[in-house]
Amino acid sequence: MDLEPQSAAPGRVEQNGTNSIPLVERHGSPRDLFTVWAGSNVTYLYFVLGGLLVLFGLNVWQAIAVVIAGNLFFVGVGFLAITGPRSGVPSEVIGRAFFGVRGNRVLNLVCGWFVGVLYEAINLSVGATVGFALVLWFAPQAPIWVQGALVLGLALLTFTISVYGHATILRFSRWITWVLLIGIALMAFFVLLRADFSYEPAGGSLEGAPLWAVALAGFTLIASAPLSWQVGADYARYLPPDSNPSHVAFWTGFGGFLPAVAIGILGVLAGTVVDMSDPTTGMASILPSWFYPIFLVIVIVGSVANNSLTAYSTGLALLAAGVRWRRSVTVIFDAVIAVGITLYALFVSNFLDSLSGLLEVSLVILAPSMAIYVVDIIIRRNRYDGRSLEDESPGGSNWFRRGWNLAGLTALVVGAVATALFVSTTFYMGPLAAALGGADLSPIVGSLVAGGLYALLAGRRIRASLASPRTDAEPRSAEVAA
């Protein structure tokens, strides 16, 4: 593969994203990761998800507990990030260690790229819907085609930031994070003034299901968001290789967890006083008229920040999958696909149904794949060699059996089947979920089955390779050594 220099100064297009970062270009501290992850997670999606918990039939405190519990998966996101400074390569390349070169290509297309593009479409849909509400605030007779134009405009802005790469995203995140947090703090003030903390659902739980089943369904919905962020190494790889792993994990995980929980709780509280089936319009009834358009702008900017990070990683996923394009071209390709899905979601299907269904079904792959990644880090003691991981040649350390690591792939397939048996959505319910009255245990079961099976199948081989005097798992140069 013809690889080009990876890092870029702000204002210069970053051309590629799969080669390891040279030591001379490693800089910053783990604390810098907070603004990257916090800025990208100040998104309206979490507000909508919090409101959906109220629509499910949970009361205030039950819904808040579910928001906190589901977002604890950001601990896993932080843990995955520690592989970045050590190896200097993104998560999309590290996956070769546990899936093999060819197996990892397939997983990058399904898990890294396809799911990522669907999330890009969700964020574009949210941004365009809110943007149209902003237009209607000033021009009530605006035609519906304006919403389509907003999709194109937001896509142009979002994917332009992603094309310029890591340095631009980092600079954008540093100032936008605090602007968004201030705006969210103001919104929180007005929501708290009107919220009904004693709210109890009048119609009972969703479809008459028992409370614990509804709570588990909400847990799965909330957990789907952090589980989709299996790209922690993509941004941590720019840090010096001797960066403290616990600090890397903390600032990454906390950066995602804090805004996700805070905004999710605001969605819950808003759901006690407004109809969260149409949250954008409903918020106009509890926000001052002078602040409502500001609130809409905050949502739009948040969707752009979140999508910039997502689009950057989906571009890397295509490269890691073996697509021989420049990274800038992969981002443009993503934009075309995401815009098409967004227009369909807005003008053809029911957006809320599509949203909840997509997030829940994506866990079939996301939960087991994160578990395998975590277990591999633990067994390997985070000893990844960036140069070795980039070796795609037959016979290399990542080739395994014809390019497929059967241990990782078997664990993934079995974990995905186990997850599917326990998943419960509006259009599909696994047989074991049905037997439990609709309870959705998919993220928990999928993680335990996949992680445990991978440890059983691959643990001995990995530990044996680490015990040898010279292994491909160990760093080969000061450029990637911790």
The CATH code of the domain that includes 271 is: 1.10.4160.10
Residue 391 predicted with pLDDT over 50: yes
Residue 9 predicted with pLDDT over 60: no
433 occurs within a structural domain: no
430 occurs within a structural domain: no
Residue 17 predicted with pLDDT over 60: no
359 occurs within a structural domain: no
Which amino acid is residue 424, in one-letter code?
Answer: S
375 occurs within a structural domain: no
pLDDT band at 419 (very low <50, low <70, confident <90, very high): very high
Number of Cβ atoms within 10 Å of the Cβ of 62? 21
Total domains present in the chain? 1
**Which is more confidently placed, 77 or 347?**
77
Which residues have CB under 8 Å from 438's CB, separation 6+?
207, 209, 213, 217, 424, 429
411 occurs within a structural domain: no
Which of 114-123, 195-204, 239-248 is the most confident on average?
A: 239-248
Domain holding 199, by residue range, is: 25-350
44 occurs within a structural domain: yes
77 occurs within a structural domain: yes
65 occurs within a structural domain: yes
